Amino acid sequence: MTFEIKKNITWVGKVDWELRTFHGNEYSTHRGSSYNSYLIRDEKVALIDTVWAPFAKEFVANLESLIDLKKIDYVIANHAEIDHSGALPELMSRIPDVPIYCTANGVKSLKGHYHKEWNFRAVKTGDKLSLGSKELVFVEATMLHWPDSMMCYLTGDNILFSNDAFGQHYASSGMFNDAVDQDELFAECMKYYANILTPFSPLVIKKINEVLSFKLPLDMICTSHGVVWRNNPAQIVEKYMSWADAYQENQVTIVYDTMWSGTRVMAESIAAGLKEARPDLTIKLYNASMTDKNDIVTEVFRSKAIGIGSPTINQGVLSSIASFLDEIRGLKFRNKKAFAFGAYGWSGESVRAIQEGAKAAGFELIGDGIRALWNPDDQAVAACIEFGKKMAGSI
Ligand code: FEO
Query: Ligand 1 centre and the CA of 164: distance in Å?
Result: 5
Q: What is the rounded average pLDDT for all residues in the chain?
A: 97
Query: Ligand 1 centre and the CA of 79: distance in Å?
Result: 7
Query: Ligand 1 centre and the CA of 349: distance in Å?
Result: 40
374 close to 262: Cβ distance less than 8 angstroms: yes
Whether 115 is catalytic: no
pLDDT, average across residues 258-265: 98
Whether 73 is catalytic: no
Instruction: State the CATH architecture for 3-244.
Output: 4-Layer Sandwich (3.60)
The confidence score (pLDDT) of residue 342 equals 98
Query: Ligand 1 centre and the CA of 84: distance in Å?
Result: 7
Give the C-alpha separation, 132 to 135, whole Å.
7
Class of domain 251-393 as given by CATH: alpha beta
Atom of ligand 1 nearest to the CA of 146: 2
Q: What residue ranges line ligand 1, CB within 6 angstroms?
A: 79, 81, 83-84, 145-146, 164, 224-225
Phi and psi, residue 313, nearest 5°: -140, 130
Q: Does the pLDDT value for residue 1 go beyond 90?
A: no
Atom of ligand 1 nearest to the CA of 149: 2
The confidence score (pLDDT) of residue 33 equals 98
| DSSP 8-state code for residue 145 | S
Q: Are β-strands 74-76 and 45-48 bridged in parallel, bridged antiparallel, or unpaired?
A: parallel
Give the residue extent of every domain in the chain: 3-244, 251-393
The confidence score (pLDDT) of residue 221 equals 98
Atom of ligand 1 nearest to the CA of 225: 1
Whether 327 is catalytic: no
Q: Does the pLDDT value for residue 367 go beyond 90?
A: yes
Query: Ligand 1 centre and the CA of 280: distance in Å?
Result: 38
Q: Which of 4, 23, 276, 326 is catalytic?
A: 23
Q: Which of 42, 49, 140, 164 is catalytic?
A: 164
Q: Closest Cα to atom 3, ligand 1: which residue?
A: 81
pLDDT, average across residues 159-167: 97
Whether 169 is catalytic: no
The percentage of the chain sitting over the pLDDT mark of 70, rounded to a whole number, equals 100
Burial 204-236, CB ≥16 within 10 A → b, else e = beebbeebeeeeeebebbbbbbbbbbbeebeeb
Whether 68 is catalytic: no
Q: Which of 145, 148, 268, 299 is catalytic?
A: 145
Q: Does the pLDDT value for residue 48 go beyond 90?
A: yes
Q: Closest Cα to atom 2, ligand 1: which residue?
A: 81
Q: Which of 27, 79, 170, 247 is catalytic?
A: 79
Q: Closest Cα to atom 1, ligand 1: which residue?
A: 164
pLDDT digits (tens, 9 = 90+) for 337-349: 999 999 999 999 9
- Record the pTM: 0.96
Q: Does the pLDDT value for residue 13 go beyond 90?
A: yes
Whether 81 is catalytic: yes
pLDDT, average across residues 67-78: 98
134 close to 155: Cβ distance less than 8 angstroms: yes
Query: Ligand 1 centre and the CA of 338: distance in Å?
Result: 31
220 closest CA partner among 161, 168, 135: 161
164 closest CA partner among 138, 185, 140, 144: 144
The confidence score (pLDDT) of residue 85 equals 98
For every residue of 150-162, DSSP letters joined together read EEEEETTTTEEEE
Query: pLDDT confidence of 61, banded at 50, 70, 90?
Result: very high
93 close to 75: Cβ distance less than 8 angstroms: no
Give the C-alpha separation, 286 to 303, whole Å.
13
